[in-house]
Amino acid sequence: MINSWEELFLEIKKKDYAKQINKVLDEEYKNYTVYPPRNLMFSAFCLTPLKNVKVVIIGQDPYHEEHQAMGLSFSVPVGVQLPPSLINIYKEIENNYHVKMKPNGDLTYLAKQGVLLLNTILTVRKSAPLSHQNIGYDLFIQDVLKALNETNQPIVFMLWGSYARSLKRYLNNPNHLILEATHPSPLSANRGGFFNQNHFIKANEFLKSKGLSEINWQN
């Protein structure tokens, strides 16, 4: 069993797919504008050590416009306009807890509480969503999910949208809770299946039942 991200990354570095990803990224960062800045690619792992993970929120690839991506799924830096998906996430937190969220999209406060904000594709070329979809990140994310799945600490996985839900096949640990909903993007959320799913309340109820401190979802 893997005990830390450092241990996992040492194993991953030896794999062919990791060498391939690095080779592609060297060229991409050299020749194009790529987000997030390369030093922020692994922010989710830096801010949320494996032993601290309580909740995993899975996104797909980073925001692809300037000043948005910061290495955490759905998060944008302080002062940046809230993206539509994050607006809906905040609405659902407000609905769950009858609170008012600040118009600040930096989710570092969640990462520090044990919420792993995991994009399954870690980089993107400017203005070109999913441009790094086929460079090997699928194998990377399988290794990350395998490490999480093998951890017996209680973890809640929030799988929003068909892509995130497709990753459920890597998760079968009975100590974990899987919550599924449609994606929080306006196109999906407004059709139903994201709002009023109470995922934030359900996650905290699960953590509390396991003797763990709850997440303070309010920013």
Q: Are 2 and 12 in contact (CB under 8 A)?
A: no
Residues assigned a catalytic role: 61
Exposure string over 91-115, b if 16+ CB within 10 A, otherwise e: ebbeebeeeebeeebbbbebbebbb
1 close to 150: Cβ distance less than 8 angstroms: yes
